[in-house]
Structure 1
Amino acid sequence: MSCRISELVLNCADPERLARFWSEVLGYVELDREDGAIEIGPPDAGFGDLQPTIILSPSSNPRVGRLPLHIDVNPVDRDQDAELERLLSLGARPADVGQAGDAQWHVLADPEGNEFCLLRKQLEP
């Protein structure tokens, strides 16, 4: 018997803002709301499906910046440069974590400063 990831929980100051941001980034939709938290996930799935959902949980003291765990994303319908432009237009911003200038990925921060990486390889939608 084994486990698999069913949800990722991100404590944040503004769940509405981050739910909008991450839904746009990932093509997710709102699945549920409870006690100020917003759960988002793939439109054709939900909790317990193969892809984990994300819960944006309100917190008066969220950790931001370099977290012990971060999210990596890959483009699915465009190249990395075009996806970088899209993410920046949604509110992501470049983040410096000491990476070398020749990295094949981009380190970004979401609107609350949580770091994530945009990888190069294009995946199937």
Structure 2
Amino acid sequence: MATRLVQVNMKARNDSALGRFWAEALGWGMDSEGPGVTNLEPVGFTYPDPAAVCIDIIARPEAKTVKNRVHLDLATTSTAHQAELVARLRKLGATLADVGQGDVPWRVMADPEGNEFCLLAPR
């Protein structure tokens, strides 16, 4: 029987601070299961919703040391929307990142803890 993806798990030195960044970036709600675990869900989400994937951020003491092997890709609706998101996410604490991508239509960024993610060009 097939299954489906319901959750992405990220590690962070400060789960609540990184949770606030991603909740604001995505326009999602933020909750906590307890110390060291921050849950992010789309507003109005009821688990398990087949149209959404949630994010759990788990506290870990070690800092990120290498390029992520898995990262999030965020959709944009136009080149103007992509530029607006870059500016908004930079104000929230994200930075532009160079992971050797060269000249591509998407923008690679890093969240406040250095986790890379991409803002895709419209398709």
1:72 alignment counterpart: 73
Unpaired stretches in structure 2, ≥5 consecutive residues: none
Change (3 A) 1:84 1:28: same
Change (3 A) 1:52 1:118: same
Q: Give the distance between the partners of 2:43 and 2:116, measured in 1 at CA.
A: 24
Higher mean C-alpha deviation, range 55-64 or range 109-118:
55-64
Amino acid at match of 2:105: Q
1:90 alignment counterpart: 92
**Number of aligned positions between the proteins:** 121
Q: Give the distance between the partners of 2:53 and 2:30, measured in 1 at CA.
A: 13
SS state of the match for residue 84, structure 1? Answer: helix
**TM-score relative to the length of structure 1:** 0.87
Task: Using the TM superposition, give the Cα deviation of residue 34 of structure 1 relative to its aligned residue in structure 2, in angstroms.
Answer: 2.5
- Is the Cα–Cα contact under 8 Å of residues 7 and 52 in structure 1 kept in the other structure? yes
Taking the TM superposition and a 5 Å limit, the aligned residue runs for 1:21-40 are: 21-40=21-40
1:47 alignment counterpart: 47
Amino acid at match of 1:110: D
Q: Give the distance between the partners of 1:42 and 1:107, measured in 2 at CA.
A: 23
SS state of the match for residue 91, structure 2? Answer: helix
Higher mean C-alpha deviation, range 32-41 or range 83-92:
32-41
Task: Using the TM superposition, give the Cα deviation of residue 76 of structure 1 relative to its aligned residue in structure 2, in angstroms.
Answer: 5.4
Higher mean C-alpha deviation, range 45-54 or range 18-27:
45-54
Q: Give the distance between the partners of 1:31 and 1:46, measured in 2 at CA.
A: 13
Higher mean C-alpha deviation, range 32-41 or range 16-25:
32-41
Unpaired stretches in structure 1, ≥5 consecutive residues: none
**TM-score relative to the length of structure 2:** 0.88
